Amino acid sequence: MVGYLAACMNTDILISNLTNPTLLFFLLGVLAAVVKSDLEIPASSSRFISLYLLFSIGFRGGQELAHSGLTTEIGVTLLAAVVLALVIPVYTFFILRWRLKVADAGAVAAAYGSVSAVTFVAASSFLEARQIHYGGHMVAAMALMEAPAIIIGVMLMRRYDKDDKAGSTSLRHIVKDAFTNGSVLMIMGSLVIGMIADEKQAKGIEPFTSDIFKGFLAVFLLEMGMVAARRFKAFRSYGWFVSLFGIIVPLVNGLLTAWLSGYLHMEAGNRLLLAILAASASYIAVPAAMRLAAPKADPGLYIPMALGVTFPLNITIGLPLYWAIVSS
């Protein structure tokens, strides 16, 4: 493991990632918020761009999956993704219980067991810039990790806080809400459409699904930078514990997954994406579910942790670290 960490000090990879235009736009967004600029992305435009990114990555993933078919590696990868989504919320919940209330610990654990679609998109862009292949089934792996983490988080809250109002909401309702969440439905639906769409007909929308993708990603990350900087301030009152958690736990999840996935005989690109999924935290699907399932949990805690700490950590430092392990 020491040798792997030494390999992570590859400065060329780090510099290349830090000078990526999409990341630089994220930093511009942070700067805009810090200097209190009036720069703003209209809410309707932001919503459209986020749906476009999910549509594009899902559709392209479906086409890749249609070409590759069902193989042993695909089956193993999907199983590994679900296992990660079940295990990560459990151990993170008990770490968080050292300092947080049950409802807050459960919501944060669900967020870190779930995934960030935008982080996945950034990792996909990282691979595409280096012309490294990855399988379309990784989109399915991402989608499969949303619901299990939410369910485990809710079950832990019910188990350790008998007075939590989450108990008044049926588990069936929670599962339905997780799968019908707009981001999950968009990416899963696009994945299925990509799989069944006629290849010749699909080429007609290729300029929309591929050529303008990075431009939209840059604009989206510009807004994410502004939002992250604003929300980061919201949870500073929780102290050093949550900040360290938002840094250390994702890195541990990502590094271990990048290392252990080597024993699953997966392609390098797929290993990186699985690692980034394990390291990321949801700030879209989980907050939407927690508003219903955990009204006592503070969204001013779990959203800024995922968006203000873990998201920028993964796209700046995490990606080159995980790639150094995968490619060594």
Identify the structural domains of the chain with CATH numbers, from first to last.
2-327 (1.20.1530.20)
- Amino acid code (one letter) for 303: I
Residue 246 — very low, low, confident or very high, per pLDDT cuts 50/70/90?
very high
Supply φ then ψ for residue 316, to 5 degrees: -100, -60
What would the DSSP string read from start to end of 218-283?
Answer: HHHHHHHHHHHHHHHGGGGGG-HHHHHHHHHHHHHHHHHHHHHGGGGT--HHHHHHHHHHHH---S
Answer whether 110's CB lies under 8 Å from 290's CB.
Answer: yes
Nearest to 42 by CA among 219, 213, 204, 260: 219
pLDDT at 68 over 70: no
Q: What are the φ/ψ torsions at residue 140 (nearest 5 degrees)?
A: -65, -40
pLDDT for the residue 185:
77
**Taking 50 as the threshold, does the pLDDT of residue 106 lie above it?**
yes
Determine the straight-line distance between the first and last CA of the chain, rounded to whole angstroms: 11
CA separation for the pair 169, 294 (Å, rounded): 9
Most confident of 11-25, 170-184, 204-218: 204-218
pLDDT at 2 exceeding the cut of 70: no
Phi, psi of 69, deg, nearest 5: 75, -175
Task: Compare 296 and 57 and report the one with higher pLDDT.
Answer: 296
Rounded Cα distance, 81 and 278, in Å: 8
C-alpha–C-alpha distance, residues 102 and 158, integer Å: 9
CA 310 from centre of chain = 10
| CA pair distance 6, 3, nearest whole angstrom | 5
The winner for highest mean pLDDT among 72-76, 175-179, 317-321 is 317-321
The reported pLDDT for the residue numbered 174 is 63
**CA distances (Å), origin 316, targets 251, 270, 276, 302:** 12, 19, 12, 20
Q: Write out the two tokens for 159.
A: 């188990």
CA distances to 101, 167, 169 from 163, rounded to whole Å, are: 12, 8, 13
pLDDT of 212 over the 70 cut: yes
What does the pLDDT read at residue 238? 78
Angle subtended by helix axes 21-34 and 213-232, to nearest 10? 30
pLDDT digit string, tens, across residues 14-53: 555 567 787 788 889 889 988 999 898 888 888 888 788 8
Q: What is residue 117's predicted lDDT score, i.e. its pLDDT? A: 82
Question: Distances from the Cα of 28 to the Cαs of 39, 91, 216, 218, in angstroms?
Answer: 10, 35, 15, 10
Q: What is the pLDDT of residue 127?
A: 92
pLDDT mean over 86-107? 94
Mean pLDDT on 286-312: 80
- Alpha helices by DSSP H, listed for the chain, are 2-7, 11-18, 21-34, 43-68, 72-96, 102-113, 117-129, 137-144, 146-160, 171-180, 182-196, 199-202, 206, 213-232, 240-260, 268-279, 285-293, 299-304, 311-313, 319-327
Reading the block at residue 38, the tokens are 């009036």
Name the pTM for this structure.
0.76
Q: How confident is the model at residue 5 (pLDDT cuts 50, 70, 90)?
A: very low
pLDDT value for 216: 86
State the chain's mean pLDDT as an integer: 82
The mean pLDDT value for 260-272 works out to 93
Inform me whether the pLDDT recorded for 91 exceeds 90. Answer: yes
Q: Residues of the chain with pLDDT > 70: what percent?
A: 84
Give 255's contacts (C-beta < 8 A, 6+ positions apart).
4, 275, 321, 322, 325
